[in-house]
Structure 1
Amino acid sequence: MTELPILCLAGPTASGKSATTHTLAQHWPIEIIVMDSATIYRGMDIGTAKPSAQEQAAIPHHLLDIRDPAERYSAAQFAADAQALIQDIRTRGHLPLLCGGTMLYYKALREGLNELPGADQSIRDQLDEHARQEGWPAVHARLALVDPDTAARLAPNDSQRIQRALEIYLSSGRPMSAWLQEQRPAQNDGLRYITLSLEPSDRLQLHGRIAQRYRSMLEQGLLDEVRRLYARGDLHAGLPSVRCVGYRQIWDYLDGAISLENAIDQAIAATRQLAKRQLTWLRSEPGRHHVDCLASDAPQQIVDIVQRYWPRP
């Protein structure tokens, strides 16, 4: 058991990861370590496509509902939690399966992270105010003046990453790109990782899936879910939970900044951009096994690949 590699099932949003894990569970005693920066939050179920209670009863899922939306959770915390879970799952004679689309979490687990400056709420508040007055593209332009390398790889509306990059510069006096050039701490967990990637052969078909899924979420009550978060009074647009794709656009609608129709259109567009970033990251993964997520037999193809590394019991 200890010699078997750790498998990671990754893919962009709406690529069919949940259906594939269900198929894998029919062949192996798996436990899923969820690799997702949105499903960690309690009370955020519909918009994150969180596994249902029935699905969680059928297959053990870890790292769901571990934070209140007012709290934060870092990639470094994920790496520590995942390493501990891998060992616990193996002691039960089960197979740990990383599954999700937050590729920074995966990178942190395998490679470690640079020691970046910590969060500074006062700086974040200042940047949020700047964005409220002038928009995130203006904040992005400010970043380009002090850290052009980082700004070049970020979209002008990628608020969370733009804010973090400027926060690092303003708190340390050094651009984020300079920090990232330093050597990461080595990971010595002794584990071998295999990446299984669900990728679309037709990007437009994936876009159609994304739009259909988001509108289905609205039918399931996403608007009321965000309203409950909004009504708490202790959450704000600067929090990672509120910035989750599909939530921050509805939040803007509740703030009166945009119409509901515009919020829906922007949420779908932002989800498509997220999928694009996820695919870019995945395609840079050396040695990944990729399967067309649009193929009707995609789950079975993944099973056939897994069989090479995890012989069936």
Structure 2
Amino acid sequence: MTGGKTKRLIVVVGPTAVGKTTMGIALAKHFKTEIISADSRQFYREMSIGTAKPDADELTVVKHHFIDSHTIEEEYSAGDFERGALCLLDSLFEKHDVVVMVGGSGLFVRAVCEGLDNLPKAPVAVRERLNGIFEQEGLESLQQKLKQVDPDYYQHADIHNPQRVIRALEVYEATGQPFSSYRVREMVERPFKIVTIGLNMERQELYDRINLRVDRMIEKGLVSEVRSLLSHRNKPALLTVGYAEIFDFIDGKITLEEAISRIKQNSRRYAKRQITWFKKHGNTVWFEPDDCEGILSFLRSGLTRP
């Protein structure tokens, strides 16, 4: 990264459906720069409807990175994203003083902003076995195992996220050491300034937006998209809200109406967890999602802390 003017990474975070994509594009246009997506599912070309990717027009207005960059057949972790995004930032900061990063995946945002511990990769067979337990016995069985082998991580983790639970158990089974024992590294200092903008709104309005988004996903063909991914259903990215429920419908476990209801409910729960995460991590400054002028005023003031 070259010297001269201070480089800034503007990070736009917040719950699902709050309007991060729209705000990110507005900021990128203002600063004449590009966007890095920090959404852990939008990397995958095969997952579009259920991940609410920016549409073709939005992708044309501002150049986006890490959208459709990988296939679902590839394993792509937060650590992989950290390395890839930092390499890209080196290149982007050669051309721009400001870069915008947008995403609601807390671990992936944290990877770029703070760095992650160097967690070992587990053998594929371990993951497949844990995925099989999840499919046959459900998440609760894995939660109880995690509580036994790593009570510390169990107390602090998002135990309702199958990816997180399975990942922690993978590390334990591959190394014999609890996942929490690897999470001890201090925050890494980055060679650029980070300003984190959080978007949030009144709870019921957000829930209404989430419900509407789910209805639109169904109208656009979410069920067909999920059917096309049946052969990959045990991939971590598909053990998530919007996909897991439709798999249950396809398996005949629930009706489509029940699946839609569960997606809405689980999306609302996920939104609450996202808000909690971003209030705990980083120095996030919060705004209404339509307050572009307020955000620009804050950024122009040169403040990097609330």
What TM-score, normalized by structure 1, do the two folds share? 0.89
Task: Name the counterpart of 1:16.
Answer: 19
Task: Name the counterpart of 1:129.
Answer: 132
Distance 2:236 2:30 in 1: 36
Q: Is the 8 A contact 1:20 1:302 kept in 2?
A: no
Task: Name the counterpart of 2:191.
Answer: 190
Distance 2:297 2:210 in 1: 27
What's the CA shift for 1:155?
5.2
Correspondences of 1:157-196 after superposition (within 5 Å): 157-180=160-183, 182-184=184-186, 187=188, 189-196=190-197
Distance 2:28 2:126 in 1: 46
Task: Name the counterpart of 1:50.
Answer: 53
Task: Name the counterpart of 2:215.
Answer: 215
Secondary structure of the 2:237 match is coil
Distance 1:268 1:19 in 2: 22
Correspondences of 1:67-86 after superposition (within 5 Å): 67-86=70-89
Q: Is the 8 A contact 1:33 1:62 kept in 2?
A: yes
Structure 1, unaligned runs of 5 or more = none
Task: Name the counterpart of 2:250.
Answer: 254
Indicate whether 1:305 and 2:298 are aligned: yes
Distance 1:104 1:286 in 2: 12
Secondary structure of the 1:46 match is coil
What's the CA shift for 1:157?
3.8
Task: Name the counterpart of 1:107.
Answer: 110
Task: Name the counterpart of 1:267.
Answer: 263
Distance 1:109 1:286 in 2: 12
For residue 227 of structure 2, what is the amino acid of its counterpart? R
CA 1:286–1:51 in 2, change beyond 3 Å: closer, same or farther? Answer: closer
Indicate whether 1:291 and 2:283 are aligned: no
Distance 2:118 2:78 in 1: 12
**After the TM superposition, which of the residue ranges 248-257 and 96-105 deviates more from structure 2?**
248-257
**After the TM superposition, which of the residue ranges 58-67 and 113-122 deviates more from structure 2?**
113-122
- Percent of paired sites with the same residue: 34
For residue 185 of structure 2, what is the amino acid of its counterpart? Q
Distance 1:203 1:106 in 2: 23
Indicate whether 1:242 and 2:238 are aligned: yes
Secondary structure of the 1:30 match is coil
What's the CA shift for 1:92?
2.7
For residue 50 of structure 2, what is the amino acid of its counterpart? G
What TM-score, normalized by structure 2, do the two folds share? 0.90
Count residues in correspondence.
Answer: 300
Over the aligned positions, Cα root-mean-square deviation in angstroms equals 2.0
For residue 60 of structure 1, what is the amino acid of its counterpart? K
Indicate whether 1:152 and 2:155 are aligned: yes
What's the CA shift for 1:87?
2.4
What's the CA shift for 1:169?
1.3
What's the CA shift for 1:154?
4.0
Distance 1:99 1:263 in 2: 28
Distance 2:236 2:34 in 1: 27
Secondary structure of the 2:67 match is coil
Task: Name the counterpart of 1:203.
Answer: 203
